[in-house]
Amino acid sequence: MASKPPSLSRNTANIHHPYQAPEGFVSPQVPIYKGSTVIFPNTAAMRERQWLDKSSYTYGLHGTPTTFTLEERLASLEGGTHCILTPSGLAAIAQVDFALLKTGDEVLIPDNAYAPNQSLASGELQNFGITHQRYDPLNLDDLAQRISSKTRLVWLEAAGSVTMEFPDLVAQVALCKTRGVLCALDNTWGAGLAFNSFDLTPGQGTEPLGVDLTIHALTKYPSGGGDVLMGSIITRSDALARTIKLSHMRLGTGVGSNDVETLLRSLSTLEMRYAAQDHHARELARWCEGQSVFAQVLHPALAQSPGHMHWQKLCVSQQYPQGRAAGIFSVVVDTRFSNAQVDAFCDALRIFKIGYSWGGPMSLVVPYQKQNIRTLPSPHLQPGTVVRFCIGFEDVADLQEDIKQAIHAVLV
Ligand SMILES: *Cc1c(COP(=O)(O)O)cnc(C)c1O
């Protein structure tokens, strides 16, 4: 160890301690580099550094080796070339809106989108003179008719939040390309695993057909712990990446390296967790189909679920003949039962906890009243209260018993 310079006080010497750990420590996990300040060897070096790519470091907000590593891994996992991290999934949605929209523009949002995406549009975006419309995710003509010369951005979600309809994503993206509007996919459900966002029809056509951007709530699957909030924006477009990066820096929405390290740690098991939760959720969803108190089970891999054919087209492949899906599904409780009874059913569950989010170790449940989450007619949904189940890592038999006892306690 190098000795401290003798002329400094112990306190100053402690801050400017010359010891440097040797290079060459190798372990499976990436080190956590933390820093708001990045130290430059001299002023010329400070002026030369630029922050728009990953070739050097300037300031913590612009990235550290730890954040760059997560960004690179997430981008390559999804087949993108650029990734920008945000403090939450919702912040990623907001960042895309703020970077791409200006007064006079319009944004189109599916009627079954993650609800805060719509709240942002009717709040801040409206205040900034940016209009929005909701479109029917299962009706391509409805989307086509709503695209106008004002439309700058179309949000896509597959499957939709809560009601789980799976849109014809290939046709929606092709439509956006034909009409010259940008499309951004909230790909939290697919997690970059269920299908190929940037090449939706692999092997067909000369140019890949893909979305312009994706956002993810890393809070869900990539974290897997129910303990971190983070989001990502991924694209293959250099121009879009630059536009978003510039806006990201102006808004100052960086992420902390400790959280990034948690994500890096979880990312290695993403594939296995996704597959296991898919498997368990499908088993339970199929069992729920046999329960007379449920008028409908909404899971895109079930033949009766709205948009099942679109799911099949996108998520079933030679490698995955059973297709891929997230570990989340909803049931519509029969109209015989009041909203209060459905609340009581959720309260009677013992293993399922009442709480938002998904992708973590613990199974969760939330009841929703359709009139609060939908504005357009949805004839493919049975009337009744919607209950969403997010499946964790518990044994399916225990989860099934739990639903069974809550049905018997409250609904029959
Ligand atoms: C949870 C979620 C988000 C937002 O993620 P946060 O990190 O909680 O802000 C966005 N989209 C979808 C589909 C989600 O489920």
| pLDDT, tens digit, 9 for 90 and up, residues 4-60 | 556 898 888 888 888 888 888 889 888 899 999 999 999 999 999 988 889 999 999
Q: Is 252 left (phi over 0), alpha (psi -120 to 50) or beta?
A: left
- Quickly count: other Cβ atoms within 10 Å of residue 174's Cβ: 17
Angle, CA of 302, 209 and 319, to the nearest 5°: 45
Confidence of residue 147 (pLDDT cuts 50, 70, 90): very high
How far does the chain reach from its first CA to its final CA, in angstroms? Answer: 73
Q: Is the pLDDT of residue 3 over 80?
A: no
Question: Which atom belonging to ligand 1 lies closest to the Cα atom of 220?
Answer: 1
Asked if the model's pLDDT at residue 299 lies above 60, the reply is yes
State the number of CA atoms in the 13 A half-sphere of 194 facing the CB. 27
What distance in Å separates the CA atoms of residue 25 and residue 31, rounded to the nearest whole number?
A: 10
Ligand 1 geometric centre to CA of 89 (Å): 5
Mean of per-residue pLDDT scores for the chain: 95
Q: Is pLDDT above 60 for 123?
A: yes
- Binned at pLDDT 50, 70 and 90, residue 370 comes out as confident
Q: What are the chain's domains?
A: 43-267 (3.40.640.10), 270-411 (3.90.1150.10)
Label residues 210-248 b or e (16+ Cβ within 10 Å = b).
Answer: bbbbbbbbbbbbbbbebebbbbbbbbbbeebbeebbebb
pLDDT at residue 379 tops 80: yes
> Ligand 1, closest atom to CA 357?
1
Q: Where are the alpha helices (DSSP H) in 6-160?
A: 10-15, 43-48, 65-78, 89-100, 115-120, 126-127, 140-146
pLDDT > 90: what percent of the chain? 87
pLDDT, position 4: 52
pLDDT value of residue 6 = 67
Taking the model in full, what pTM does it have?
0.95
Give tens-digit pLDDT for 77-119.
Answer: 999 999 999 999 999 999 999 999 999 999 999 999 999 999 9
**Nearest atom within ligand 1 for CA of residue 93:** 10
Q: Which residue has the tokens 């499946």?
A: 391
Over residues 390-401, mean pLDDT: 97
Residue nearest to atom 5 of ligand 1 (CA): 89
- Phi/psi at 19 (5° precision): -60, 135
- Residue-wise pLDDT tens digits, 162-196: 999 999 999 999 999 999 999 999 999 999 999 99
Q: Give 262-285 pLDDT, tens digit per residue.
A: 999 999 999 999 999 999 999 999
Going by CA atoms, what residue is nearest to atom 8 of ligand 1? Answer: 89
What is the pLDDT, as a whole number, of residue 5? 56
Cα angle: 312, vertex 370, 291; to 5 degrees: 65
**Phi and psi of 385, rounded to 5°?**
-85, 140
Q: Ligand 1 site: residues with CB under 6 angstroms? A: 88-90, 114, 161, 186, 188, 217, 219-220, 229, 231, 357
- Residue 365's pLDDT band, with cuts at 50, 70 and 90, is very high
Query: If you write DSSP's letter for every residue of 133-149 in order, what string do you get?
Result: EEE-TT-HHHHHHH--T
Portion of the chain with pLDDT greater than 70, in percent: 99
Could you tell which of 157, 188, 233 is best to mutate to test the pocket of ligand 1, judged by most ligand atoms within 8 Å of the CB? Answer: 188
Ligand 1 pocket mutation pick from 93, 118, 219 by most atoms within 8 angstroms of CB: 219
**DSSP SS3 for 176:** helix
